[in-house]
Amino acid sequence: MFHSSTTVSTLARLTTLAGLLAIASVPRHAAAQGCVIARGGGGAMVLGGDGFLESGDWQLNLAYRYFHSDRHFVGDVEQTHRQEEGSQVDNYSHFIDLTATYAVNRRLWLNLTLPFVSHERSSLYEHDRTNRHSTYAAGLADLRLTSTFWLLDPETHHRGNFSIGAGVKAPTGDYTAADVFHRPGGPELRYVDSSIQPGDGGWGAVLEAQGFFAFTETLSAYANGFYQVNPREQVEETGFSVPDGYLARAGANYVVWPSQGLSLSLGGRIEGVPPTDLVGGDLGRRRPGYSVAVEPGVSWARGRYFASLTAPVAVYRNRQQSHPESLVGRHGDAAFADFSINLGFSVRF
């Protein structure tokens, strides 16, 4: 049986994990970790260290993500020769999301996310094909404004709840970033690869869902996901596609040290870019595909503070064929990461 203040406090930690792991693990580029880039949100479920936000509460969240992608795939077949001959592309990507959440009431919350990125892309083929050089891009990415609505009354549903969310993504990030490429004929200023462009160039709609359920005072399940719809087909200046993106996560959380708010989690996640979009055309250069990962994590909840760390490890990667590629009978590759590091911190006031 679930009872009294001890149970409510423990379940609050469970719901905190279910919500904030979403934030910590989904900074701005929720993607197949590399050249396959899906720009967008997710993780609007933002609970405080003691549970649901009260009417008028604010919460600030900081999320950081890092990955290094260098493993090339065509379909789900790894192109091991790229590593062997040293021709692989190396992407080093850092993402920071700053999110402010305001509780209109206990069931309806508003979330504003300011994302920032810093990328380095090292390759041979984009330069003189003999020497390895790097290009860079950094700065503000695409801002997101979303809302979260809990379907069940938090006052009476401590054991489990489910929320839906929707919002917009604005093209505030630079989507025509350029850098110097060391070409055979000499240095050239060109657009950097789509995988390191800070923005995608289109207005988008963000759809989210998340929930949790506590089986016991220490064991709970969580799930969350998002889909970003990008109606714009492509950026004319660069020829890059403005693709949709998606992510889904689910797993279990166990409170190992209730008095200190320490929890461990284990789950799975899938994230990527579809070959075709829900709305709009499918032309432009894109690298569709997805990765499936096992996601261990640890979190700490104490009063109005929360911190988390997750490290999804890829177990399957698939670079799918894009629509333009299917028209000409070719199938390009993409680089994926083995894992990513995701840190999150929040404070409520």
pLDDT of residue 244: 97
Q: List the pLDDT tens digit at each of the 349 positions of the chain.
A: 344 444 545 454 444 444 444 443 344 444 555 565 545 443 334 454 456 899 999 999 999 999 999 999 999 999 999 999 999 999 999 999 999 999 999 999 999 999 999 999 999 999 999 999 999 999 999 999 999 999 999 989 889 999 999 999 999 999 999 999 999 999 999 999 999 999 999 999 999 999 999 999 999 999 999 999 999 999 999 999 999 999 999 999 999 999 999 999 999 999 999 999 999 999 999 999 999 999 999 999 998 999 999 999 999 999 999 999 999 999 999 999 999 999 999 999 9
Phi, psi of 300 (to 5 degrees): -135, 130
Task: Please tell me whether residue 23 adopts helix, strand or coil conformation.
Answer: helix
User: Tell me, what's the pLDDT at 5?
Assistant: 45
Confidence at residue 4, expressed as pLDDT on a 0 to 100 scale: 45
Domain boundaries of the chain, sorted by first residue = 4-348
At 229, list the tokens. Answer: 């719809």
Return the pLDDT at 52: 84
What's at 5, amino acid-wise? S
How many of the other CB atoms lie within 10 Å of CB of 159?
Answer: 16
CATH superfamily of 4-348: Autotransporter beta-domain (2.40.128.130)
3-state secondary structure of 82: helix
| Contact between residue 119 and residue 138 where contact means Cβ atoms under 8 Å apart | yes
Kindly report the length of the chain: 349
CA distance 327 to 168: 32
Give which of 38, 21, 28, 45 is closest to 301, Cα–Cα: 21
